[in-house]
C-alpha cells in the first residue's frame, strides 16, 4: 500500500481559512475551480492522503454561504465530448454534478452554456435542465476577446451576456472539463456586479501545479504529464518573481494571458488587486505535504502510469504520437522509465510463463498476485478474484465463483449481445460474486474485503477495455495496460 504523505485534515483547516480571508476582501467572491470538482484521482494518486472528495468536503464548510455555477461549452455538447475517466458525455457529467452536489447540501444555482451560437443539441440540453429545476443561461463568444479590452469590458462584450442571478457571498464557478468557459463566465459576472455597484472579486482555486514547490519537483512534472494532450508547460511565474522576489510555479497559459486578464480586471474594478497569476490563486496544498520523499516517489509512479495510458490512447487513436513522446521526455528528466513499474514486469513474466496467454498482475503490499485469461474470465477478472482470495486468506484451490455459475452467465451474455466474447469482464464477475455472496459465506467474506485493494498497483499485458478500466478506477486500483488489442 502507498504510504500517506499528505495531511488532509490540515489542508481542510488552512484552505478554509485562506478562502475566508479572500472572501473578506469583497462583497462577493467568484472563485473559479480548476481541475475536477469531484473524483480528483490524480491528486489522490500524486499526493497519497489527499482524498478524491476533498474539494467537496471543503465546499461543505461553506455551504450556507456558497453557491455553484456550472459551465459547459456548447461545442462540447454539439460534438458529444466524452470524459475519458468515466466514459460519459460532458452534459451527463453536469447532471451528475448537480445531483451529487445537491445530495451533499451544496446549492447549485445555475448552469451556463458558453460559446453558444445556436447549437441545436445545446438548446435540447437546456430543456433537459428544466427537469432539474436549475436556472440555465446562454453566453456567447465575447466580442473583442482577447486583445480589444475596450470592447471586452463594455456592453458589447461582457455586457452582452445575461447576468446570472446569484445570492451568496461565495460563488464557485466549475465545469465538467477544460475549455468550458469558467473564466469568461466569472469575468462577465464581475462586469455586471460592478455596474450594479457590487464590490465583487475573482480568485482561482487550482490544485496543480503547486506554486510553492520547485519547478522540477515530480509533483509539478506529474501535472505536465497529466496535461500532455494540452501541451501545458510549467514555468516560473516571472510576474511574481519581479514583484515579490519570490519564485513561484505556474503554467504557460496562465502566464501568457495574465497581462490581458490583469487589464480586464483593472478596467472592471478600477483598481489593481493582483500582480501575478500566483496572486490570484488560493490553494495551500504545498503546505500540507508531510513526507516529501514519499510524495516524490508517488508522483514519479503517476508519471509512468500516465505514459502507459498515453501509449494505449495512441493505439486507440485518441491522442497524437506527440503526447506519449512529451511524457517520455519528462520521464527522462527524472531518470525514470517503464522498467520502474514492477507490477508491469511481473505481469509480463506471468504471460511468458503461460506461453503468451494474456495475463495481469496486482501488487498488494509487497505481494504480486497474477491472473490469466481462463475459459470464463478475463485476465483482470481472474487477477482481482485471486487478489480477493489473498486478502481474505482463502486457499487458491477454492473457487469464489463456481464454473457452473459462470458458464450460463457467459452463454446468455453472448446470446443477447452483438459482440461475442469468450470471457466475462471484471464488472460482470463482481456482480456474479455479489449474487453468490447471498448464499456463499466465503464469497461474502471476500466481497467485504474488496476495499483492501484500494491504492494497489495493477497491470495487464493487453489493452484493457474501457469498462474494465472504469471498474478498476472505481475500486481505487491504479491500473495500466499494454497496447495489444485482441485477447481472444
**CATH number of the domain bearing residue 403:** 3.40.140.40
Position 422 confidence tier, pLDDT thresholds 50, 70, 90: confident
- Is residue 227 domain-resident? no
Domain boundary among 288, 308, 327: 288
Q: Are 450 and 408 in contact (CB under 8 A)?
A: no
Count of Cβ atoms closer than 10 Å to residue 417 Cβ: 9
Query: Are 127 and 241 members of one domain?
Result: yes
- Is residue 230 domain-resident? no
Domain boundary among 248, 266, 288: 288
Position 88 confidence tier, pLDDT thresholds 50, 70, 90: confident
- Is residue 105 domain-resident? yes
Identify the pLDDT of residue 85.
67
Above 60 in pLDDT, residue 173? yes
Query: Are 147 and 242 members of one domain?
Result: yes
Residue 141: burial class (beta carbons within 10 Å; 0-12, 13-18, 19+): middle
Condensed to tens digits (0 to 9), the pLDDT of residues 295-312 reads 999 999 999 999 999 999
Above 90 in pLDDT, residue 86? no
Above 90 in pLDDT, residue 2? no
- Mean pLDDT to the nearest integer, 331-349: 96
Angle between helical axes of 426-436 and 441-448 (0-180°, round to 10): 130
Query: Are 372 and 275 members of one domain?
Result: no
Condensed to tens digits (0 to 9), the pLDDT of residues 101-138 reads 999 999 999 999 999 999 999 999 999 999 999 999 99
Domain limits at 178? 8-218+235-288
**CATH number of the domain bearing residue 244:** 3.10.630.10
- Is residue 396 domain-resident? yes
Query: Are 29 and 162 members of one domain?
Result: yes
Q: Are 488 and 105 in contact (CB under 8 A)?
A: no
Query: Are 279 and 358 members of one domain?
Result: no
C-alpha cell at 379: 485476465
Position 357 confidence tier, pLDDT thresholds 50, 70, 90: confident
Identify the pLDDT of residue 286.
95
- Is residue 300 domain-resident? no
Q: Are 227 and 323 in contact (CB under 8 A)?
A: no
pLDDT, mean over the chain: 94
Query: Are 247 and 379 members of one domain?
Result: no
Position 487 confidence tier, pLDDT thresholds 50, 70, 90: low
Count of Cβ atoms closer than 10 Å to residue 436 Cβ: 19
28 conformational bin, left if phi > 0, alpha if psi -120 to 50, beta if neither:
beta
- Is residue 408 domain-resident? yes
Long-range pairs for 18-21: beta carbons < 8 A, 24 or more residues apart? 18/282, 18/283, 18/284, 19/58, 19/62, 19/170, 19/205, 19/282
Query: pTM of the prediction?
Result: 0.92
Position 212 confidence tier, pLDDT thresholds 50, 70, 90: very high
Above 70 in pLDDT, residue 467? yes
Per the DSSP assignment, residues forming a β-bridge with 213 are: none
Query: Are 61 and 178 members of one domain?
Result: yes
C-alpha cell at 84: 475519458
Identify the pLDDT of residue 411.
86
Above 70 in pLDDT, residue 402? yes
- Is residue 323 domain-resident? no
- Mean pLDDT to the nearest integer, 6-21: 97
Query: Are 362 and 277 members of one domain?
Result: no
Above 80 in pLDDT, residue 283? yes
Identify the pLDDT of residue 80.
86
- Mean pLDDT to the nearest integer, 372-383: 93
Query: Are 118 and 260 members of one domain?
Result: yes
Identify the pLDDT of residue 486.
61
- Is residue 306 domain-resident? no
Condensed to tens digits (0 to 9), the pLDDT of residues 341-352 reads 999 999 999 888
Query: Are 251 and 371 members of one domain?
Result: no
The candidate with the shortest Cα–Cα distance to 162, out of 136, 134, 132, 127, is 136
Number of structural domains, the chain? 2
Query: Are 407 and 281 members of one domain?
Result: no
Query: Are 255 and 404 members of one domain?
Result: no
Q: What is the dihedral of CA 36, 41, 42, 48, to 10 degrees?
A: 130
Condensed to tens digits (0 to 9), the pLDDT of residues 269-279 reads 999 999 999 99
Identify the pLDDT of residue 38.
86
The better pLDDT of the pair 418, 317 is held by 317
Identify the pLDDT of residue 1.
56
Identify the pLDDT of residue 418.
67
Residue 86, helix vs strand vs coil: coil
Amino acid at each position: 500500500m502507498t504510504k500517506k504523505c499528505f495531511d488532509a485534515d490540515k489542508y481542510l483547516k488552512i484552505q478554509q481559512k485562506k478562502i475566508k480571508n479572500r472572501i473578506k476582501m469583497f462583497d462577493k467572491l467568484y472563485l473559479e475551480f480548476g481541475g475536477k470538482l469531484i473524483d480528483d484521482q490524480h491528486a489522490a494518486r500524486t499526493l497519497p492522503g489527499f482524498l478524491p472528495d476533498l474539494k467537496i468536503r471543503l465546499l461543505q464548510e461553506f455551504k450556507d454561504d456558497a453557491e455553484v455555477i456550472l459551465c459547459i461549452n456548447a461545442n462540447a455538447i454539439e460534438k458529444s465530448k466524452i470524459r475519458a475517466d468515466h466514459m460519459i458525455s460532458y452534459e451527463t457529467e453536469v447532471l451528475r454534478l448537480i445531483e451529487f452536489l445537491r445530495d451533499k447540501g451544496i446549492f447549485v444555482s445555475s448552469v451556463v452554456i458558453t460559446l453558444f451560437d445556436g447549437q441545436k443539441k445545446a438548446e435540447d440540453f437546456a430543456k433537459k435542465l428544466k427537469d432539474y429545476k436549475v436556472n440555465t443561461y446562454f453566453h456567447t463568444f465575447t466580442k473583442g476577446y482577447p486583445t480589444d479590452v475596450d470592447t471586452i469590458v463594455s456592453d458589447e462584450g461582457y455586457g452582452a451576456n445575461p447576468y446570472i442571478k446569484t445570492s451568496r457571498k461565495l460563488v464557485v464557478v466549475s465545469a465538467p472539463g477544460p475549455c468550458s468557459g469558467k473564466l469568461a463566465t466569472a469575468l462577465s459576472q464581475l462586469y455586471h456586479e460592478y455596474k450594479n455597484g457590487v464590490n465583487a472579486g475573482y480568485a482561482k482555486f487550482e490544485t496543480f501545479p503547486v506554486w510553492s514547490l520547485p519547478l522540477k519537483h515530480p509533483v509539478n512534472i506529474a501535472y505536465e504529464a497529466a496535461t500532455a494532450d494540452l501541451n501545458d508547460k510549467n514555468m516560473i511565474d516571472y510576474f511574481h518573481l519581479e514583484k515579490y522576489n519570490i519564485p513561484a510555479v505556474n503554467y504557460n497559459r496562465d502566464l501568457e494571458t495574465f497581462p490581458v486578464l490583469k487589464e480586464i480586471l483593472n478596467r472592471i474594478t478600477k483598481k489593481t488587486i493582483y500582480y501575478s497569476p500566483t496572486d490570484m490563486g488560493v490553494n495551500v496544498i504545498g503546505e500540507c505535504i508531510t513526507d516529501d520523499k514519499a510524495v516524490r516517489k508517488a508522483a514519479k509512479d503517476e508519471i509512468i502510469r500516465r505514459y502507459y495510458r498515453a501509449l494505449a490512447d495512441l493505439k486507440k487513436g485518441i491522442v497524437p504520437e506527440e503526447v506519449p513522446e512529451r511524457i517520455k521526455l519528462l520521464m527522462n528528466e527524472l531518470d525514470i522509465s517503464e522498467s520502474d513499474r514492477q507490477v508491469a514486469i511481473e505481469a509480463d513474466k506471468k504471460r511468458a510463463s503461460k506461453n503468451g496467454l494474456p495475463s495481469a498482475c496486482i501488487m498488494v503490499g509487497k505481494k504480486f498476485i497474477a491472473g490469466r485469461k481462463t475459459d470464463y474470465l478475463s485476465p483482470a477478472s481472474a487477477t482481482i478474484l485471486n487478489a480477493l482470495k489473498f486478502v481474505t486468506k482463502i486457499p487458491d484451490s477454492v473457487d469464489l465463483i463456481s464454473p457452473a455459475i459462470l458458464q450460463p452467465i457467459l452463454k446468455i451474455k453472448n446470446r443477447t449481445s452483438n459482440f461475442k466474447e469468450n470471457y466475462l469482464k471484471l464488472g460482470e464477475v463482481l456482480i456474479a460474486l455479489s449474487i453468490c455472496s447471498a448464499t456463499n459465506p466465503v464469497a461474502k467474506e471476500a466481497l467485504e474485503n474488496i476495499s483492501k485493494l484500494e491504492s494497489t498497483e495493477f497491470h495487464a499485458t493487453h489493452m484493457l477495455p474501457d469498462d474494465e478500466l472504469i471498474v478498476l478506477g472505481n475500486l481505487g486500483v491504479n491500473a495500466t495496460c499494454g497496447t495489444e488489442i485482441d485477447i481472444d
